[in-house]
Chain A
Amino acid sequence: MSSIDPLTGLLDRFGCMQTAAKLVADATISGNVFAVIWIDIDRFKQINESFGHLGGNMMIEDLALRFRARVGGRAELARMGGDEFVFLLPKCDRAQVQQFAAEFVSTIEAPMTIGNLTLHPTASIGIAIHESGEDALTLLERADHAMFAAKHRGGNCIVYSGDEPIPGRLGITLAREELSIENDLHTALETGGFRLHYQPIIGADGRVEAVEALMRCTISGQNIPPVKFIPVAEKTGLVIRLGEWSLLQGAMHARLLHESGYDIKVAVNVSRAQLVSPKFTEALYAALACSDVRPEHVELELTESLFMDISDIVQQNLKNAIAAGVGLAIDDFGTGYSCLANLKDIPANKLKLDRAFVTVLPEDKRAMAVVRSVTRLGHDLGMTIVAEGCENKDQIDALFDADVDSIQGFYYAKPMPEEILLPWLKTRSAK
C-alpha cells in the first residue's frame, strides 16, 4: 500500500496513520509532548465548482508547496484527501503549537492566483495534543473533531480539542464552561434551587401597593447571580421556562397575598424571549388558570431590551395581555433602548424610572428636571410612575415632590423570600 499522496508528494492517509503511530510510541517512551494540527480549506467546494477539479488541484498543489517550504524539518505533513491536511508535530507543547498554527494561518492566507483571479484562502484548524496512554487514531480523531468545530464556528479560526462546543442536555451546542452552567440550571430546576424574592413598592401614603418578584438561584448553598446564568438560559431556551415559572409562582403569590387580606399586586419580569414567542399568550393564560388569581393582581414588567425591536408578534402579545386583564409596566425607563416612542407604542399603565436618575438625587438638578418631566408626561399618558433604587429619605422627599406615585428601594426594604414578606407586611400594617 502506498503511503505517499500522488498529487502533492506528502504522506497520504495511510502514511499519516503509520507516522502518527510511530510518534505516539516515541512520545510514550521519551515523555515528549506531541501535537496534531488538522487543516481544512474553507469554501474549497466553491473553488472546485468555479474552476473545475483542475483549479482545485492547482490550489492543493500550491498550498502543499507553501507548507513544505514553511515547515522545514519541524513537522511531518500529510494530505488526508480532498482539501484536508494534517501536520504531525513531535516535541511540541501548547505554546509552540499555537505559534506554529499562527504561522500557518498567514501561509494559507497569502494571495493565490488561479486562472485570472486572485484568491485569499482561509482554513478551519483543529489542534489536539497527545494525552498519556492515547492511541494515534483517537488523537487524530480529536484533531478532526476540533477542526469540525472550527468549521461550525464559520471557519477561518483555530479550535483546540477539548475547547470545542458540544451539544448540551437540550441538544444546543455550548462551550465547556457554559455546559457546566447549563448543568447547574437543570439541577436547580429539578431540586427547587430557584426561588422568588419580593421587593415592596410603596405609595406616597405609605401603603404597600405592589411587590416586584425577583429570581434567585441557589445551588448547593451557593448563590448564582443572574448575570452568570441568564446568557446560558437564553442560549438554551431555558430562559422561557424560567420566565413562565416566575409567572406562575408570582401569580400564586398574588393569590396568597389577597387571601391573606393584602391588596397588593405582584409584578413579574417578562423576558424578551417570552414576548417574541407566539406561545406567550397561551402561557400567560395557562399561568392564570393554574393559579386562579384575579388577573388585575398581576403585573408584567417589560424588560428594556424588548424595545430593540417591537415586532407585530410582540404588539399582539401585549394586546392579549391587556385583554387578559394583567397590568403592564415599562421597566428601567430612560436608559438603554427605551425611548419616548415606546411610551406611544406600548400599552403600559406603569412606568418605572431607572435607578440611574434616582441615585444622583436630590443634588443633580438636571436629573431632577428629567424626573419631573417624565412623570408629567407619564401622567398625561395615563400611567403611574414608580422610581427604582431609592436608598435615602432625601431621595424619597425629592421624588414625591416631583409627583412620582410610588417608590421601590432599599430605603423601604430589600427583596425578601415569601416566608419573610408576610410577617414584614403584618408588622408594617400593625404600625
Chain B
Amino acid sequence: MNGNVLEVDGLLERSLRDIGIPPCPAILSRFMDESQKDEPDYHRLSEIVGSDVGISAGLIKTANSPFFGMRQRVRSVNEALTVLGLRASSRAVAGLILRNTFPYTAPMERFWDASARIANLSGWLVQHLRITGIMAEDAYTFGLFRDCGIPILMKRFPNYRAALDAANRDGVRSFIEVEQTEMPTNHAMVGCILSQSWWLPEEICLAIRNHHDLAALSSVSSRLPTLSRKLIAISQLAEYLVQQQLGLSFTREWPKLGAACLQTLGLEEAQLETLYAESISVTSASE
C-alpha cells in the first residue's frame, strides 16, 4: 500500500516537473496531513519542510518579514514554525512551493519579485493602517497567489503575452475583459482554480477570482465577502505604491479601481502621499 502511495506521489512529482502545476504538491499534502492532527508533531513538520532547502530558507525568511514584527531573528525551521503558527506556516509553504514550481527565467524572476514585494507591502499595510477584520498573513498570501494564473496561461497559450500587454495598457476596459478578447479564460479564474486545489481559504480564492472586478468590489449588490474585498483593496494599493516607487510592471489598474479600494479601506486620497513615504523602506527591504 505504501509503495502504491509512493508510486502515485512519484507520478505527481513528475507532473509537477513536466507541466509546472501540481494538483497539490506532495510536500504541502504531507505538511497539511501532519498539521491537522489533534497534536501535530513540530519535529515531524520541521522534517517535512527541511526536506527542501529552498522552502526551509524561504520559511525562515518569511518569519523574519517586517510585518510579523518579531523582536528576535528566527534561525531555524522549527523556530519559524513556532513563531508563525501552523496556519501561517502552511500558507507560507504553499507560497514558496508556488514560486519554486515555475522555471527560473529572467522575466519570471521579475514577475515573482513584483509579487513578493506586493505581498510584503500588503502584509505591512494591514498592520500599519490597523485594518480590522483581516490578518497580515492572509494579505501576504493573497499577494503571492493573486497573479499565479499569469505564468500558467503564459505557458499554455503562445498568444497570451500579447493579451497581457494589451490588458496592462488598457486604461478603460477591465483587465479581464481585455484578456478575454484573446483567451477563453483569464488569469484571475486560473489563479482561483489553482488556489482552491492548494487549500487556500475561500475568501482568498474569491479575492483572486475577483481582483479586477470593480462591480464585485464596490457594488451594493455584490455578494463578495468583506474580507475578500479588503484583500483586493490592500493588494491594489500595495501594487500602486510599489509601481510608484520602483517603476515595476506598470498596469493601469489604480485609475480604474483606486477610488473603490480607498473606500473599502476607509482611506482618503490625501493620505496616499504620507503612506508612500512611510512604505519606501518596506518596499526596498523586500527581496
Contacts and interface: CB of A to CB of B under 8 A. Distances in A.
Genuine A/B complex: yes
Interface of A: 169-172, 186, 189-192, 237-238, 241, 244-245, 247-249, 252-253, 255-256, 259-260, 279, 281-283, 285-287, 289-292, 320, 324, 418-420, 422-423
Interface in B3-53: 4-5, 7-8, 11-12, 14-15, 19, 21-24, 29, 32-33, 35-36
19 contacts: A169-B203, A171-B225, A172-B223, A189-B199, A190-B199, A191-B35, A244-B192, A244-B193, A248-B194, A281-B184, A282-B180, A282-B185, A283-B185, A283-B189, A285-B183, A286-B190, A291-B23, A292-B19, A422-B8
Nearest to B8: A419
A291 to B, nearest CB: 8
A147 B34 CA distance: 46
B229 to A, nearest CB: 10
Interface string B186-227: 100110111011011111011000000000000000010110
B23 to A, nearest CB: 4
Contacts, number: 115
A281 B206 CA distance: 17
Contact of B33 (A192, A237, A279, A283): A192
B8 A244 contact: no
B95 interface: no
A186 B225 contact: no
A282 B184 contact: yes
Contacts of B153: 289
Contacts of A260: 11
Contacts of A289: 152-153, 156-157, 185, 190
A276 to B, nearest CB: 15
Nearest to A323: B184
A170 B12 contact: no
A189 B24 CA distance: 13
Question: Which secondary structure characterizes the binding site on chain B?
Answer: helix
A251 to B, nearest CB: 9
B145 to A, nearest CB: 13
Contacts of B184: 281-282, 285, 320, 324
B149 interface: yes
A255 to B, nearest CB: 7
Given A170-B203, A286-B190, 14 more contacts: A169-B203, A170-B225, A190-B200, A244-B196, A248-B196, A282-B189, A285-B184, A286-B185, A286-B189, A287-B193, A419-B1, A419-B4, A420-B4, A423-B4
A247 B202 CA distance: 17
A93 B197 CA distance: 50
Given A189-B202, A252-B15, A283-B189, A241 B33 contact: no
B7 A422 contact: yes
A252 B152 contact: no
A286 B149 contact: yes
B89 to A, nearest CB: 13
Closest 8 CB pairs of A and B: A285-B185, A252-B23, A285-B184, A286-B190, A191-B36, A286-B189, A282-B189, A292-B19
